[in-house]
Amino acid sequence: MLEQTQDSEPDLIELTALASVLHSIYNGIEKIFVLIAKKVDKDLPEGKQWHKEILIKMTQAGLNRDAVISENLKEKLLPYLAFRHFYRHSYSYVLTWTELEKLVVAVFDVWEETKEELNAFMCKFEKH
C-alpha cells in the first residue's frame, strides 16, 4: 500500500504524475484485455462504450476461454476506467487529491489482484 510520507497534499506536479501513472496502469490492463478479445475471442467490442464493454466481457466466459477476471475485480477496476476517461478529457489543473487519493492508495493492491487473476487465467488457458 502507498504510504504518504509528507503531511501536505500532493502539489499540481505530483498530482499530474500520479494521474499519469494511474492512467498508464489501467491502459496496460486494458491492452491485455484487448489482446484476449482479439486473439482468443476474435471479437473486439466497438462503439462509444467499448472500454466498459471489454471490461465486462472479461468477467464472462467466452467460447474458447473461461472468465479472465472476477466480478469483484471488475468492480475494483471500474473507478480506474472512469478515471481513464476523465484523464483523457480534462486538464491537469482540475485534478484534486480528494478525487485521486482513493485510487492512488488502492492501486498497488488492485494491480496485485489483477496480476494474480491474469496468471490464474493463463495457467488454465495453457492447459486447454
- pLDDT tens per residue across span 21-78: 999 999 999 999 999 999 999 999 999 999 999 999 999 998 989 999 999 999 999 9
**H or E element in which residue 94 lies:** none
Please tell me which residue, 65 or 5, carries the higher pLDDT value. Answer: 65
DSSP per residue, 95-109: --HHHHHHHHHHHHH
Residue 72, Cα to own-chain centre: how many angstroms? 13
DSSP 10: P
- Distance, in Å, from the CA atom of 29 to the CA atom of 114, rounded to the nearest integer, reads 8
Q: How many whole angstroms separate alpha carbon 5 and alpha carbon 66?
A: 42
pTM above 0.95, yes or no: no
Domain boundaries, the chain: 12-127
